[in-house]
Amino acid sequence: MPLISLERPERAERGTTTAGAPAGVGATVAADGAGRPAHKLSAVQLMFVTYACVCGGPFGIEPVVRVMGPAVTLALLCVVPLVWSLQEALMTAELSCALPEMGGFVVWLSRGLGESAAQQIGYWRVVSSMFDIASYPLLMLSYLGPHSASEDDDAAAILPLGARWAIGTLVLCAAGALNALGVEVVGNASAAFAAFTLAPFVALVALGAPQLSGAAIATGPPAGQGRADWGGALSVLLWNLSYFDLAGTFASEVADAQASFLPAMLGALALALCAYALPLLVGVSVAPDFSLWDEGYFVDISRGVHGGGRWLGRWLSAAGAVCAFAVLTSIISTSSRVLVALAQLGVAPRWVGELHPTLRTPVRATVVNVACGSALLLCGEWELVITLCMSLYMLSTAAEFVALARLRALEPDLARPYRIAAGDRRGIWLFVAPPLLLCAVLVAVSGTSTLALIAATLAASFGVQRAHRWWAARARFATRSARLADAELEVQRGGKARAANGAGKAEHGPEKFESSSRTKR
């Protein structure tokens, strides 16, 4: 039986709840207090939001070509989706339909591995998302460089630190405001952003197709690359083919999750692969000096395409900025829903998880993301940060695959409108084995500094979890002590009242008896 095929049983009746769903973890947002339906995503909107989370555009693949060469890069673009992206997309389809709750993977982990694991991995993903959110405004500025100075400068480098922070904060606020309006607005904006960012690459591929060179495409990796270089390049490649699981955070806000998730996941994967592979084939043929390939190099490639030039370069620069904004908007949207789920688990302040009473969107969690992203704009060494974030993401996604397999054993009767056709329990473990192996490979080829950062982050997250447990236990003890004290005081007050009542009866008893006797006579 093929591991990537799906079985689809009859659709569950509308309005039914997921079997065994725990209350309070990833609550489903179905309607507001007045009974009006919440914002809902269609399958097409979900596909474009997922595409924005995963790819957003062909930008970002250039450093991989510099380290690995075009032949290895293209080969990995064929292999990685089969051993990582497709598994992640199918996992998201199965679990999002089985557990259609806000919070996505936090809910999956809580059900499959327990609340402690969900809390811990939720911490990792929040930290990773915060750095992601802070990186995209600066990436957006870097693509606008040719318009702000000479053709060889970028705005992120030439602007003073204060100006970069101010502009980046404005960009974050704009993305946050878009999210506050609702998931439908984000879905429509993601579709428009995708159309704008892909249009210049369609022109690039059409103009550069006659210049395709088999020799350039078959070039292997350059000499002198170390383990850390390969680890960083692999992290960037996986970074550009990951994050399908983020779509699960919208599960409660999809109009028809059972009919939408699988087509949306597969459509987003196909669109991402075409967006990377086709411009890459033309780019390596037009610009075969791969030592120059770096972030934003497609703008330079456009000058070497017959019929291209400055106009196409500026179009690509604008598309790069819009691509960064599109990914930023989607990451804020998903990260805010993760914060809501963590608040429902009790590991984030409860006020963070409250939805806006009118918009029914996680406005408070969005504000937290924007504020933290603004503070992190002052961070440097973004390549190291991206490698750290990708490593934490891989570890957390590995835990999600384990939760997928364990849920098959723990909850075999859970209603699964989509079910990965992996056979028995052994089959589902074979299905998750390739991505788990890829996670191990990424950690093995990581540099020493990255491993040290991973260890420090994990230690810090365990420390935060321990501190939270201690504080929660102390709060429960204080609450219990206060209740016991109140109960004891109430008992004392009741005893005094009964004593006073008894004394009153003793004092007025003879008089009442005498009065009663006169009445009878």
Tell me: do 229 and 104 sit in the same domain. yes
| Dihedral sign, Cα of residue 369, residue 370, residue 373, residue 374 | negative
Residue 116 exposed, middle or buried by CB count within 10 Å (0-12, 13-18, 19+):
middle
Determine the Cα–Cα distance for residues 383 and 64; give it in Å rounded to an integer.
Answer: 12
Helix H or strand E segment including 419: strand 419-420
Q: How many domains does the chain have?
A: 2
Residues 392 and 513 in one domain: no
CA distance 155 to 164: 8
Note the residue count of the chain.
521
Residue 315: helix, strand or coil by DSSP? helix
Burial of 249 (0-12, 13-18, 19+ CB in 10 A): buried
CATH number of the domain at 414, please. 1.20.1740.10
Residue 2 belongs to some domain of the structure: no
* Residues 503 and 422 occupy one common structural domain: no
pLDDT of residue 184: 92
Q: Does 229 reside within a domain?
A: yes
Residue 357 lies in a domain: yes
Answer whether residue 518 is part of any domain.
yes
* Residues 230 and 328 placed together within one structural domain of the fold: yes
Is residue 409 domain-shared with residue 520, that is, in the same domain?
A: no
Residues 80 and 186 in one domain: yes
Q: What is the pLDDT of residue 245?
A: 93
Token digits for 117? 């694991």
Q: Which of 446, 476, 502 is the last residue of a domain?
A: 446
- Same-domain pairing of 480 and 409: no
Which of 510, 474, 404, 315 lies closest to 92 in space, CA to CA?
Answer: 404
Domain boundary among 402, 418, 446: 446
Tell whether 21 is covered by a domain.
Answer: no
Q: pLDDT truncated to tens, each residue of the chain (521 aa)?
A: 444 444 544 444 433 444 444 444 544 433 343 333 456 899 999 999 999 999 988 988 898 999 999 999 999 999 999 989 999 999 999 999 999 988 899 999 999 999 888 888 888 888 888 888 988 888 888 777 644 334 444 555 567 778 888 999 999 999 999 999 989 999 999 999 999 999 999 999 999 999 999 999 999 888 777 666 787 788 788 888 989 999 999 999 998 888 899 999 999 999 999 999 999 999 999 999 988 898 888 988 988 888 888 899 999 999 999 999 999 999 999 999 999 998 888 778 889 888 888 888 899 999 999 999 998 887 655 666 666 777 788 888 999 999 999 999 899 888 988 899 887 788 899 999 999 998 888 777 766 766 777 777 777 777 776 776 677 676 666 666 566 666 666 766 666 666 666 655 555 555 544 444 444 44
**d(Cα 283, Cα 289) in Å, to the nearest integer?**
10
| Residue 103, CA atoms < 13 Å, CB-side half-sphere | 26
| Closest to 284 (Cα-Cα) out of 230, 231, 224, 205 | 205
Residue 289 lies in a domain: yes
Distance CA 193, CA 332 (A): 16
Q: Do 339 and 487 belong to one domain?
A: no
Q: Is the pTM of this model over 0.75?
A: yes
In a domain, 18, yes or no: no
Nearest to 4 by CA among 58, 101, 81, 76: 81
Q: Are 64 and 233 in contact (CB under 8 A)?
A: yes
d(CA 320, CA 61): 12
* C-alpha of 44 from chain center: 19
CA distances from 294 to 35, 63, 65, 222, 504 (A): 51, 5, 8, 15, 93
> Has residue 5 been placed in a domain?
no
Domain that holds residue 486: 461-521
Task: Look up residue 454 and give its amino acid.
Answer: I
Q: Do 283 and 192 fall into the same domain?
A: yes
Whether 247 and 205 map to the same domain: the answer is yes
Please indicate, yes or no, whether residues 389 and 264 belong to a single structural domain of this protein: yes
Residue 409 sits in the same domain as residue 465: no
Domain final position from 415, 446, 477: 446
Element (H, E) at 407: helix 382-410
E strand map for 248-321: none
